[in-house]
Amino acid sequence: MIKLAIFDLDGFLLQGSRFSDFLEKEYHVSKPEFLGILRGRVMPPKCDINTPSFPAWEPYLSVWGLHVNEQEFFDLWFKTEGTHEVMEHFELVKKVKSQVEKVAVMSDNFFERADWIKKTFPSMQLFDFMYFSCENGFTKATERSYKMVLEHFGVQPDETVFIDDDEDSAKLATSLGIHAIYFRNADQLKQELSQVGLSV
């Protein structure tokens, strides 16, 4: 019996364009350089808790031709992405929530964006727990992140379903005994949820 359903955030519940695409097009910043900083310094697998990320970005901004302060940088980032809620997926969460004990979000995110998400999207109140890597110290690339969520609710891996559009995250969760679903489309997701006893 499934007691806990965990949902990925970006790419499933929230969608938008990538800031890396904007920087590459407008400022000729290569994606490997940008992503190297994001995943290597700002959000490594084991990261500092509740630590602002701007100091990691600041040395690169003038080099990239971005003459902005901290507030302007993140305003540009979040506005450019145009992040919005995928309402049909939130409706799916509501249906799942009626059949399980708890629902949670797991997200690899940095301090400023996690704070912005919580303030911007009221639909996030639907969840009983929001796991952000910047608040807990581990990204979804680590076993520890999943174990922390399970421990928070006191459930076993086989009592948990996890939905993510990232195949590597789904594979890692599966290796821990979690019923992980690699999301590709709505019909596929509904079919795989039905296989663990959840009707949507």
Same-domain pairing of 127 and 39: no
Q: What is the pLDDT of residue 28?
A: 98
Helix (H) or strand (E) holding 154: none
Same-domain pairing of 40 and 106: no
Print the domain residue range for 25: 19-81
Do residues 43 and 109 lie in contact, with contact meaning Cβ atoms separated by under 8 Å? yes
Bridge partners, 164 (sequence order): 182
Same-domain pairing of 44 and 136: no
CA dihedral 144, 198, 183, 185 (to 10 degrees): -170
Same-domain pairing of 90 and 66: no
Cα distances from 78 to residues 20, 22, 74, 187, in angstroms, run 12, 11, 6, 30
- Nearest-CA neighbor of 129 among 138, 144, 118? 118
Q: What is the pLDDT of residue 110?
A: 98
- Label residue 32 by pLDDT band (50, 70, 90): very high
Same-domain pairing of 109 and 158: yes
- Label residue 107 by pLDDT band (50, 70, 90): very high
Domains contained in the chain, number: 2
Q: What is the mean pLDDT of residues 28-49?
A: 96
Q: What is the mean pLDDT of residues 172-198?
A: 98
Mean pLDDT score across all residues of the chain: 98
